[in-house]
Structure 1
Amino acid sequence: MPRTRLTPLRRLGIESVEDLLTHFPRRHEDRREFAGFPQDESDTPVCVCGEVTKTSVRRFGGWKKIFEATLEEHGANTLSQPLVLRWFNLHYVQKMIATGQRLVVFGRPRLRGHRLCLEHPEFEVIENDDELSIHFRRITPIYPATEGLSQRVFRSLTFRALENLSERAVETLLPRNHAMGARRTALQQIHFPESEAALAAAREHLVFSEFFAMQMTIASRRAIASSRPGEPHCGRGELLEKFLHVLPFDLTDAQTRVLAEVRRDLASPQPMNRLLQGDVSSGKT
């Protein structure tokens, strides 16, 4: 792999295939069929596809720039309203977008005067190559990315890694009596789901696996701690009885029960591991 890709991958904490496949998408875009262009502003983000018909750069405030690209819907008619994509002081965007390109954009439409705009939208250039089926005509993953690593490159790396990943190479963490499928299938569907239902099932599998692994780790640590030798530290309780006798109040049932549990732990040869929990002013001290 080229060094130019290794550096941004390491910046994301990705050093292995496992790191790559557990760098999960932050969202998905349904690119099987694109919705029509919006007709009004909205707080709900839209994902649309169109062709760039015009680009321009306007200056304001001296050195500041606004780069605009006009996006028109495929098969637009005289009543169709184009979208204006706007970026403020992002010079690299100007180098990436040109007239005639097809773009997929994601953002919230806002009405600016008489124009409908997407300001600082996420975008991806459609390139007609052998990998077109990875990025379009499917439910497409969008990843937490970094400088020097585009969505297209990251998506291709993940797709190729999954292609070469055998069932045996991925251990399913869940017990067999939990009918939630194989982890290999869940990884495939969380990145490149066949449907919304498959995506939901994959997310459930991976979340359940994470919590199960967490509980197993806690249980393992508890077992190790309880196996360590210790010294009993509990006398006959004469001093305790004298102390309780001079208190100007009687202990509650909960305090009496907890005190007995603590004394039992102190009398045990295993180290005590206890959390005393209660509301404020409930008598813990």
Structure 2
Amino acid sequence: MQLISPSNLKSIEDVHEWLNRCATIYRSTEHNERIKIDLSSLKWVSPVGCAALAATFYKLYSRYDIRISIPDNESADKVIGYLERMDFFEICPIEVKTAFETHCDMDKYYNRHRNVQTKALFELQRVKNYREVGPLQKSIRDIMKGRLAPNRVSDIASIIGELANNSIEHGGTPCFPCVQYYPQKKKVEIAICDFGKGIVKTLKDLVPHNSSHDVVSKAILTKASGVEDEDRGRGLMEVKQRTFDWSLISQFYVRTHNSAYQVFPDKVETLESGEYYFGTYYYIIINMH
């Protein structure tokens, strides 16, 4: 079987399409079967694409014997360079790193000089438990200090902390956060992905609902929680509030269960529906205009 990546992994719709393709493979192949993951046409990756690749590779490698075709097109150098700059190859399964090193001169990426004076990103991390969330937030504050107002740095750290805690507590898997600040565009992109059971499976037996979309809406707009008998469930509400406190034109996306959504200050809209696949994939674009 062959799993072919979209040409772009830069939007929540791209991630949705990638997860649909992963779901097809998962549904139609047996445990330990060999599959080929074809990344040869991949031309563009954003923070959410980077985090989504890491999360899905861990899930796929837990089940299959994988072979990978690496990017091989006019944009391959930029794609591989970006993944290396985001520390993707330090975080991904070792088999993925080995596939790239076998078919590409990775030393030219590993040994290049990174200008730390212009560094404006928090590279991809793998956060496995609650003890790692505090140091994760501190690292974000240290990197963003001096680039944004102190209260905005605190907001970013809080958003990442809440989403990481959600992934660990409810998803039951490690999560993969990264942050990139674009000074010229005056925006911050926050991505955090996991390969756990997702929002719907966590909450469907705990909240009244007519559809899986209702469950997702209540998870984000109310205090619905997967932890019973506790004053919990404020996390995603607070993430939403912090996101739109910056700007009402900020963008908040999530892909979970079988659908991609856009979150607004007062509602959650379904963008696309597809096939169920593991995990929750958050993508927040904060515009500072």
Calculate the TM-score normalised by the size of structure 1: 0.22
Higher relative contact order (CA 8 A, sep 6+): 2
